[in-house]
Amino acid sequence: MSGVLVVMEQRPSGAQAEKAAWHRMSWETLAAGQQLAAQLGLKVYAAVVGQGVGALAQELARKKLDHVHAVEHALLATYTADGFTAALEQLIRKHSPSIVLFPHTYQVRDFAPKLATRFHQVLVSDAVGFRVESGAPIFVRQLFQGKLNADVRLGGGEPHFASIQAGAFRAEQVADGTSQVESFAPELTADIIRAKPHEPFRESARAVDLTSADIIVSVGRGIKEKDNIPIVEELAKALGAELAASRPICDSGWLPMERQVGSSGQTVSPKMYLAVGISGAIQHLVGMKGAKTIVAINKDANAPIFEVADYGIVGDLFEVVPALIEEVKKARG
Ligand SMILES: Cc1cc2nc3c(=O)[nH]c(=O)nc-3n(C[C@H](O)[C@H](O)[C@H](O)COP(=O)(O)OP(=O)(O)OC[C@H]3O[C@@H](n4cnc5c(N)ncnc54)[C@H](O)[C@@H]3O)c2cc1C
């Protein structure tokens, strides 16, 4: 194959009539794969692994790819590190891609290093970008909570393995096209799968998925106390946005942990991220710098958040936010 293979992640359909669905980061990784392949002059392929993945594979076939691999087996119906590693190892040995890309999801963190070692390779994990120099890709990884960027050159033989950080590439940049689906039935036996999967972890109905929000209003310590949170809640409501927060807000229990953005919270890439009373510490920035447009409200003109903001309002949030709510309501009728 000697191209770039993107291993997509999907959540299988569940018992409660849910349809199988893509992990959103899969599309971001596919965009990365298409761009990397174009720069290297290589072909690009995508693989979907599971059981009954025909419809997902057909969806992939409408993207600009050279082939889609539908890797199917009854023992892949539920994710296990052993099953996915064995199946992908067989696919990779058969087609010999140069580079295998994954979204840097929890599932990928679980099995991809093991898969890489089957080829005596390492996984270049959580890459935020790449560039091509003298025909060879160099992946960029962040170190020390984003304080340093490290270039990673790929040594040794092929294939190389890398995972892509959430928000590093934009899902809407995936190029459309047409391609063929090729079925691949790996040889798997139950005895190689040592884990016994239980029911997949299901978040409670109220759990928020900030990663799929288009607009996020995020609040920081500038809000001063818990009783003031409704001010930003109202702004979020007026904008049809999800509410998020910096770590101190969640640590104080003013908003639930699942709303925390940053290195120890969620990584988000909405169309608009409105940071209210957030200073812009590096641990916060790494979680939201992938937003398309960043708006910051802060009374300190030197706050680091303004370095990444597209629009900045220097002012007291207790004056600015109510005025914004009024204007948004007027504009929305
Ligand atoms: C290992 C580690 C992991 C971490 N992970 C995360 C993480 O995932 N997410 C995260 O967010 N942080 C994380 N942090 C914490 C991070 O370092 C910062 O302490 C935190 O992001 C600061 O939050 P803040 O901006 O809300 O508060 P502050 O830094 O206190 O900033 C408050 C801001 O509000 C402004 N302000 C005050 N009053 C007003 C007003 N009336 N109107 C307008 N502006 C006002 C101030 O000028 C200031 O800029 C982590 C730290 C460590 C060490």
Q: What is the pLDDT of residues 312-326, one digit of tens each?
A: 999 999 999 999 999
Q: In the listed set 192, 221, 250, which residue is the last one of a domain according to the structure?
A: 192
Give the chain's largest Cα–Cα span.
65
Do 32 and 178 fall into the same domain? yes
What pLDDT is attached to residue 205? 46
Atom 27 (ligand 1) nearest CA: 221
**Residues spanned by the domain of 139:** 4-192
What pLDDT is attached to residue 19? 65
Q: In the listed set 192, 222, 252, which residue is the last one of a domain according to the structure?
A: 192
Q: In the listed set 192, 219, 236, which residue is the last one of a domain according to the structure?
A: 192
Pairing of strands 21-22, 10-11: antiparallel
Residue 200 forms part of a structural domain: no
What pLDDT is attached to residue 209? 76
CA of 279 to the centre of ligand 1 (A): 5
What distance in Å separates the CA atoms of residue 62 and residue 143, rounded to the nearest whole number? 37
- Out of 278, 285, 313, 319, give the residue to mutate to test ligand 1, the one with the largest number of ligand atoms within 8 Å of its CB: 278
Do 187 and 232 fall into the same domain? no
Do 40 and 158 fall into the same domain? yes
What distance in Å separates the CA atoms of residue 139 and residue 152, rounded to the nearest whole number? 5
Q: For residue 70, count CB atoms less than 10 angstroms from its CB and return exposed for 0-12, middle for 13-18, buried for 19 or more.
A: buried
- Out of 298, 307, 318, 321, give the residue to mutate to test ligand 1, the one with the largest number of ligand atoms within 8 Å of its CB: 298
Which CATH number belongs to the domain containing residue 38 in this structure? 3.40.50.620
Residue whose pair of structure tokens reads 């500038």 in the numeric block: 222
What distance in Å separates the CA atoms of residue 137 and residue 16, rounded to the nearest whole number? 43
CA of 228 to the centre of ligand 1 (A): 16
Structural tokens at position 269: 């890439």
CA of 281 to the centre of ligand 1 (A): 6
Residue 198 forms part of a structural domain: no
Do 220 and 315 fall into the same domain? yes
Please tell me what DSSP assigns to residue 260.
Answer: B
Do 85 and 186 fall into the same domain? yes
What pLDDT is attached to residue 15? 47
Residue 269 forms part of a structural domain: yes
What pLDDT is attached to residue 24? 77
Number of domains in the chain: 2
Do 33 and 173 fall into the same domain? yes
Radius of gyration of the chain, Cα coordinates, nearest whole angstrom: 22
Do 37 and 120 fall into the same domain? yes
Residue 199 forms part of a structural domain: no
Residue 160 forms part of a structural domain: yes
Q: Is 263 in the pocket of ligand 1 (CB under 6 A)?
A: yes
Do 166 and 258 fall into the same domain? no
Residue 48 forms part of a structural domain: yes
Do 242 and 140 fall into the same domain? no
Question: What's the CA angle centered on 152, arms 106 and 65, to 5 degrees?
Answer: 65
What pLDDT is attached to residue 263? 80
Structural tokens at position 125: 């994990």
Residue 201 forms part of a structural domain: no
CA of 130 to the centre of ligand 1 (A): 30
What pLDDT is attached to residue 105? 87
Do 90 and 136 fall into the same domain? yes
Q: What is the pLDDT of residues 175-217, one digit of tens each?
A: 999 999 999 999 999 999 999 988 766 554 446 778 878 999 9
Whether the CB-CB separation of 211 and 99 falls below 8 Å is answered with no
Do 234 and 314 fall into the same domain? yes
Do 125 and 10 fall into the same domain? yes
The crossing angle, in degrees rounded to 10, of helices 229-239 and 317-332 is 20
Residue 142 forms part of a structural domain: yes
Atom of ligand 1 nearest to the CA of 248: 23
CA of 261 to the centre of ligand 1 (A): 11
List CB contacts of 139: < 8 A, sequence separation 6 or more: 124, 127, 129, 130, 151, 152, 154, 162
CA of 220 to the centre of ligand 1 (A): 6
Alpha carbon 316 to chain centroid, angstroms: 33
Q: Is 57 in the pocket of ligand 1 (CB under 6 A)?
A: no
Atom 23 (ligand 1) nearest CA: 246
Residues of the chain with pLDDT under 50: 15-17, 204-206
As a dihedral over the C-alpha atoms of residue 257, residue 258, residue 263, residue 267, rounded to 10 degrees, the angle is -160
What pLDDT is attached to residue 106? 85
H or E element at residue 58: helix 54-60
Q: Give the residue among 71, 53, 77 at the shortest CA–CA distance from 186.
A: 71
Q: Is 279 in the pocket of ligand 1 (CB under 6 A)?
A: yes
Q: Give the residue among 146, 98, 102 at the shortest CA–CA distance from 124.
A: 102
Which CATH number belongs to the domain containing residue 215 in this structure? 3.40.50.1220
CA of 286 to the centre of ligand 1 (A): 13
CA of 1 to the centre of ligand 1 (A): 48
What distance in Å separates the CA atoms of residue 94 and residue 121, rounded to the nearest whole number? 17
